[in-house]
Amino acid sequence: MDEESIKGLAIAVSMISLWAISLIFLLSVALAQVPIFWIGGAVVLQTFLYTGLFITAHDAMHGVVYPKDPIINNFVGTVSLLVYGLFYYK
């Protein structure tokens, strides 16, 4: 694998991982015990990560996440759209 091929895949995996980690963490927080500005920051973070999921799925549809293997592209796109909004990837 050359560096350019792995770059898109690494970004996609990072985006999906960050989304999952932040969602698990944020769902475990007791909202009554955190300052309101913290909640606003969490909303901004999740908005950024959901946008990243959409962009990752879009890039996978165009075959640029991992250009050397369409199966990996389709898998990344499928996972991205499923966690984004339970959308079907085709």
Instruction: State pLDDT tens for residues 28-52.
Output: 999 889 999 999 999 999 999 999 9
Rounded to 5 degrees, what are φ and ψ at 25? -65, -50
pLDDT of residue 43: 94
Q: Which DSSP category does 87 fall into?
A: P
Lowest-pLDDT choice from 15-19, 49-53, 81-85? 81-85
Distance CA 82, CA 59 (A): 15
